[in-house]
Amino acid sequence: MDAVTASLEVSGLAFAYPDGHQALFGVDFAIARGERVALLGPNGAGKTTLVLHLNGILTGGTGSVRVAGLPVGRQHMAEIRRRVGIVFQDPDDQLFMPTVREDVAFGPAAAGLKGPELEERVDRALERVGMAEFKDRPPHHLSFGQRRRVAVATVLAMEPEILVLDEPSSNLDPASRRELADILRSLEVTVLMVTHDLPYALELCPRSLILSEGVIAADGPTGELLSDEELMRAHRLELPFGFDPRSVTMGA
């Protein structure tokens, strides 16, 4: 995969926290433009540490991260933050304005968009997550699932290269989970989904990476990895009772 087609390239990424705890020991992978990839792994595997490197929230380790060919570092930080949209697990970490519209407009407005161009960007982002009619509502009046969709819209409004989702299905009822899956499938953007929800990973991401003890322990088709009982056991990954990954037909 050359730099032109790769949305994300991580090579030799190692990182230790100031207290000496080493979280990453040399992580290597690349994700092509438009791919949907799940990042799986037990708690403490380094998933959050890895995600925080993708847009330069964490720096100072060794190795490199490139987004659409640009190295993540001080020089390109504003551009990297525009290109890597992270949707955090709790939508309330991302929604802080009086109305949905203002929340979605916040990033593009800070980047200098205004007037009709800004409105168009907001409308398009809300349209993509099926929340256009809630534009003037206060976010705290929405259900949890609706707030998560608005949080996705705040990131889409920046027109990112990569959408990084941290546990996107957590705390969602089955209908909201299904709605979000349909939205994610419809987006023409590179997706990296960090999740413990293995059926959701199988449904949405043709490829998965298993991060375990700070290294990529496996990288392959999601169905194959989830069907490998020994691999799953070795990395403390458990499918829901009675769930057979081989019986699921993958969504395109």
Residue 59 pLDDT:
85
Q: Residue 1 domain-assigned? A: no
Residue 72 maps to which CATH number? Answer: 3.40.50.300
Tens of pLDDT along 104-135?
999 999 999 999 999 999 999 999 999 999 99
239 or 97: which carries more pLDDT confidence?
A: 97
Q: Residue 139 domain-assigned? A: no
Over the chain, what is the mean pLDDT?
A: 92
The yes-or-no verdict on residue 145 having pLDDT over 80 is: yes
Q: Residue 27 domain-assigned? A: yes
- CB-based burial label for 54 (10 Å; 0-12, 13-18, 19+): buried
Rounded mean pLDDT of 21-48? 93
Record the pTM: 0.91
Q: Residue 181 domain-assigned? A: yes
Residue 252 pLDDT:
43
The yes-or-no verdict on residue 249 having pLDDT over 50 is: yes
Q: Residue 64 domain-assigned? A: yes
Binning pLDDT at 50, 70 and 90, where does residue 206 land?
Answer: very high
Q: Residue 187 domain-assigned? A: yes
* Cα distance between residue 159 and residue 187, in whole Å: 11
Q: Residue 22 domain-assigned? A: yes
* Cα distance between residue 64 and residue 94, in whole Å: 27
Domain membership of residue 76 as a residue range:
6-92+162-247
Tens of pLDDT along 62-72?
999 999 889 99
Domain count for the chain:
1
